[in-house]
Structure 1
Amino acid sequence: MFESAEIGHAVDKDTYKAQVPALREALLEAQYDLQQQARMPVIILINGIEGAGKGETVKLLNEWMDPRLIEVRTFDAQTDEELARPPAWRYWRQLPAKGRMAVFFGNWYSQMIQDRVHGRFKDAVLDQAINEAERLEQMLCDEGALIFKFWFHLSHKQMKKRLETLKDDPLHSWRISPLDWQQSKTYKRFVRFGERVLRRTSRDYAPWHVIEGADPHYRSLAVGNILLEGLQAALKQPVTPVHQAMAPLGESLDKRSLLRSLDLTKALEKDDYEKQLTAEQARFSLLMRDKRMRRHALVAVFEGNDAAGKGGAIRRVAAALDPRQYHIVPIAAPTQDELAQPYLWRFWRQIPARGQFTVFDRSWYGRVLVERVEGFASQADWMRAYGEINDFEEQLRRSGVIVVKFWLSIDQKTQLERFKAREKIPFKRYKITDDDWRNRDKWDLYADAVNDMVDRTSTEVSPWTLVEANDKHYARVKVLRTLGDALEEAFKKSDKKG
């Protein structure tokens, strides 16, 4: 793959000066069209050999274009805040909004190549990192992002020559970093693993562009023209409308058999409830204060029928803890800022650090529930969301995050009784809305969506817990007991590992 970068491309000064004005004008026009349309973010990944002109080229792009619309991000050594969360968290929180551009130095490719070069992991882990990068980029592109990937290349001979020249130049020797000298020693390994990564991750939706870095005029024009062609082509693409699509996916004879199989008559008498609730709250509190919790974070997802008692269950969970230990995230319709980002962005940003607990009152499952049923997402979007959600949760679990997911289920009769009761009680009227009544008319459609959701996202690492919630007492105790069991299981597994 790197052979094409060894030819020795060069552009003379006069040719360069003649081409730059028109290129700059076209890039600026494309950049302003991007901002005006605001229907896609642009992500530029910068990788390659040290000294091949990465920084100089990005600096020039900021001069040619409007720097107010370009965010340059450098991912050096991970901070303590980043180390306490899954690796992808640091990249997700820095993604540009639709209509903007971001340049990522030291991105996910830099990290995986450097780790493999220096023997921090073996080929199997590198292959896993490659697969994760492919899935991330596929998802970002499916969400509308435009990704450019540049590898700036120099031969080993060219790199050595540059270092020797700069070393003896008192005005420019500061430009040599320790990483330059280090990479000079590991050049062959860096190129070998870099080529492996590039071959595996160059896809039609996010191809790699290898840029020869020896001649500054050539590399600047090459990068500028690639960006221009890609931007112009993407901006000319028609906007794909969202089609309402509510059909179930499965082939079972009875799509609602899963929910119908629940025994909604399960209940607890008041005395039993109070005893069991107190015991489970005490158990949960002790587990959350266990020193082994420092290796983990806890995420609890609460989904369920309207009026199923999610709020009451969450309050009983929170009552067991110090408020500094948890954070409750209520999920409503996305804001304009959230709509300008990929779907999972607003959830990645809320992932807790180790030792902490986050409750999602509704969650990322909205895409395969309300967005599916109400037609807010296209069929292609909500169908691919199952795989994206499974991948998201798998990344969380690999990083020590314990994910516990609850579906609180009630029958239609119980829901109607609770709706009517809420309308009569002044301090509960805010809980009932016109949307709640409209959703009752789509009960069967939501039941189909729930069955598909559980079938496709109840995995070994992140299973669903279906909660019989006609009796609120029974549901609250089951939720607390499930959380305690999940913590105990995770602690046992971590004890076995070391």
Structure 2
Amino acid sequence: MFEAAELGHKISKAEYKTRAPLLREALLEAQYELKEQARFPVVILINGVDGAGKGETVNLLNEWMDPRLIDTHAFAEAGAEEALHPPMWRYWRALPAKGRIGILFGSWYTDPIHRQVAGKGDAARLNSQLDALVRFETMLAEEGVLLLKCWFHLSKQAQKQRLSELEQDPRTRWRVGERDWANLKQYGRFRAVAEQVLMRTSTGAAPWVVVDGEDERYRSLTVGQLLLDALRQRLAQALPSHALCAPLRPPLDGVRVLDRLQLLQPMSKADYGHELETLQGRLNALSRHPKLRERAVVLVFEGNDAAGKGGAIRRVTAALDARHYRVHPIAAPSEDELAQPYLWRFWRRLPKRGKFALFDRSWYGRVLVERVEGYAAEADWLRAYAEINDFEQQLHEAGTLVLKFWLAIDADEQLKRFQAREQTGFKRFKITPDDWRNREKWPQYAEAVHDMVERTSTPHAPWILVEANNKYYARIKVLRSICSAMEAQLG
């Protein structure tokens, strides 16, 4: 894959002086059109061998275009704050909004490649990581992101010469260190691993472009023209039409997962009080367990309107130190959130190790309310099942305990609670016209919940179905489930 970049591509000074100003002008014009349309973001990955001109290219793009509309991020080894989160957390936070360009100097490929070169990984783990990255990039493409992946290449001899030139010049000597020379000694292994990575992750949605880094003028025009062509092509396209999808089929006998639940479970107020005190004490002790410093806890609360999510959340937080948890009530996305891929706003709310995050509604809105109300196209909510499973798999692999609760009540119980809220002054704020309107779509929501549970209940993040007609029973089941899961994880 790298042979074509070793053909000695060159651009003369005269040709560069003719082409560069025209390219710069066209890039700036396309950048402003991108800002004006604000239909999609652009992400440019800058990876490759040391000394191949990656830094100079990043600087040049910021010089040729308006840097106020460019978000440039240089990724080194994960810092203390980043190490407390799943590995992809820092990259999600760096994604640009629609209408902007994000340049990622070093990217999600850097760590897998360097670990493999250093002998700290195995082939199976690397392939698993690469498969996950392909799915991630496919998701970005589906979300409308224009992703350009540039790999800057040099032959070993050219890299050695480049490092020597940089080291001999007092103005650039600081850019070459012992690590660069050590990496040169590993050139053969680095090249082999890099070629394997590029071949496996160059896809139709996000192909790699190998850039010959030996000639500065050739390199600069190549990257600039690549960006310009991609921008012009995307800006000229109409809004994408969504593909037709094979419909999900309901069970032939009409029986869904929630139909098997006995929604009214017995529990007296006296028993509830005793159990509540015991379980909250148990949870408080678990929240201070030394091993929790290496883990995070994510609790997801979904359910029918008026099913008691808020009450269950309050009984959980009452057992925790307020410094160690955050409750995230999820409503319709803001304008800033709509300018990003769907899961972006949830990645930003993930807890660090040792902390809890409680989501009052969550990323499942895409396959529930957005599906039923038509806010998401069928193709978008259908692919969301796999994207959510990937998201939760990453949390699990990073040591996060993910517990998902569906609080279920029947239609009669919901009606009673709606009417009680309307008649009680301090509860009236809880009932809205949307609640009554959603109730009219009970069958559609029931079908969506069935598909959600069936397609996203996994061994590492199973759905816990809570029979919630009796609020006392539901709260106790939630607390008991959390305690049992934490004890299993923490030992």
One-letter identity of the residue aligned with 2:186:
T
Q: Which residue of 2 aligns with 1:20?
A: 20
Q: Which residue of 1 aligns with 2:290?
A: 291
Contact 1:304–1:409, Cα closer than 8 Å, also in 2: yes
Q: Show structure 1 runs of 4+ deviating over 4 A.
A: 241-245
Q: Distance in 1 between matches of 2:83 and 2:262?
A: 43
TM-superposition CA deviations, 1:378-408 (whole Å, max 9, x none):
0000000000000100110011100000000
One-letter identity of the residue aligned with 1:136:
F
3-state secondary structure, aligned to 2:96:
coil
3-state secondary structure, aligned to 2:421:
helix
Percent identical across equivalent pairs? 57
- More displaced stretch, 260-269 vs 454-463: 260-269
Q: Which residue of 2 aligns with 1:393?
A: 392
One-letter identity of the residue aligned with 1:406:
F
Question: For 1:149-188, what aligned pairs fall within 5 Å after superposition?
Answer: 149-188=149-188
Question: For 1:450-489, what aligned pairs fall within 5 Å after superposition?
Answer: 450-489=449-488
Question: For 1:117-196, what aligned pairs fall within 5 Å after superposition?
Answer: 117-196=117-196
Q: Distance in 1 between matches of 2:253 and 2:328?
A: 34
Q: Which residue of 1 aligns with 2:100?
A: 100
Go from structure 1 to structure 2 and tell me whether the alpha carbon gap of 1:159 and 1:384 turns closer, same or farther (over 3 Å shift): same
Contact 2:86–2:398, Cα closer than 8 Å, also in 1: yes
Deviation at 1:251, TM superposition (A): 4.0
3-state secondary structure, aligned to 1:87:
coil
Q: Which residue of 1 aligns with 2:335?
A: 336
2:373 is the alignment partner of 1:411: no
One-letter identity of the residue aligned with 1:410:
I
Contact 2:243–2:379, Cα closer than 8 Å, also in 1: no
Q: Which residue of 2 aligns with 1:69?
A: 69
Deviation at 1:234, TM superposition (A): 1.0
TM-superposition CA deviations, 1:284-325 (whole Å, max 9, x none):
111111112112111000000000000001001111111112
Q: Distance in 1 between matches of 2:199 and 2:445?
A: 43
Deviation at 1:166, TM superposition (A): 3.0
TM-superposition CA deviations, 1:405-439 (whole Å, max 9, x none):
00000011110111011111111111000000000
Q: Distance in 2 between matches of 1:297 and 1:74?
A: 27
One-letter identity of the residue aligned with 2:440:
D
Q: Distance in 2 between matches of 1:147 and 1:171?
A: 34
Deviation at 1:257, TM superposition (A): 2.5
TM-superposition CA deviations, 1:205-260 (whole Å, max 9, x none):
11101010111110100111111111111111111367999x97234124453112
One-letter identity of the residue aligned with 1:128:
S
One-letter identity of the residue aligned with 2:469:
N
Q: Which residue of 2 aligns with 1:496?
A: none
Contact 1:244–1:377, Cα closer than 8 Å, also in 2: no
Q: Distance in 2 between matches of 1:78 and 1:326?
A: 24
Q: TM-score, normalised by structure 1?
A: 0.96
- More displaced stretch, 110-119 vs 336-345: 110-119
- More displaced stretch, 278-287 vs 441-450: 278-287
One-letter identity of the residue aligned with 2:2:
F
3-state secondary structure, aligned to 2:71:
strand
One-letter identity of the residue aligned with 2:487:
E
One-letter identity of the residue aligned with 2:437:
R
Go from structure 1 to structure 2 and tell me whether the alpha carbon gap of 1:94 and 1:172 turns closer, same or farther (over 3 Å shift): closer
One-letter identity of the residue aligned with 1:78:
A
Q: Distance in 1 between matches of 2:241 and 2:187?
A: 48
Q: Distance in 2 between matches of 1:485 and 1:250?
A: 35
3-state secondary structure, aligned to 1:396:
helix
Deviation at 1:168, TM superposition (A): 3.0
One-letter identity of the residue aligned with 1:386:
Y
Q: Distance in 2 between matches of 1:244 and 1:254?
A: 26
Go from structure 1 to structure 2 and tell me whether the alpha carbon gap of 1:209 and 1:242 turns closer, same or farther (over 3 Å shift): closer
Deviation at 1:174, TM superposition (A): 2.5
One-letter identity of the residue aligned with 1:446:
Y
Q: Distance in 2 between matches of 1:35 and 1:390?
A: 33
Go from structure 1 to structure 2 and tell me whether the alpha carbon gap of 1:131 and 1:243 turns closer, same or farther (over 3 Å shift): closer
Q: Which residue of 2 aligns with 1:495?
A: none
Go from structure 1 to structure 2 and tell me whether the alpha carbon gap of 1:243 and 1:77 turns closer, same or farther (over 3 Å shift): closer
3-state secondary structure, aligned to 2:266:
coil
One-letter identity of the residue aligned with 2:59:
K
Contact 1:256–1:448, Cα closer than 8 Å, also in 2: no
One-letter identity of the residue aligned with 2:483:
G
One-letter identity of the residue aligned with 1:165:
E
Contact 1:308–1:469, Cα closer than 8 Å, also in 2: yes
Contact 2:31–2:65, Cα closer than 8 Å, also in 1: yes
**How many aligned positions are there?**
491
Deviation at 1:169, TM superposition (A): 3.0
Q: Which residue of 1 aligns with 2:307?
A: 308
Q: Which 5+ residue runs of structure 2 have no aligned equivalent?
A: none
- More displaced stretch, 255-264 vs 63-72: 255-264
Deviation at 1:446, TM superposition (A): 0.1
3-state secondary structure, aligned to 1:141:
helix
Contact 1:243–1:375, Cα closer than 8 Å, also in 2: no
Contact 1:422–1:428, Cα closer than 8 Å, also in 2: yes
Cα RMSD over matched residues?
A: 1.5
Deviation at 1:26, TM superposition (A): 1.2
3-state secondary structure, aligned to 2:81:
helix
Q: TM-score, normalised by structure 2?
A: 0.98
TM-superposition CA deviations, 1:317-343 (whole Å, max 9, x none):
111111112110000000000000000
3-state secondary structure, aligned to 1:80:
coil
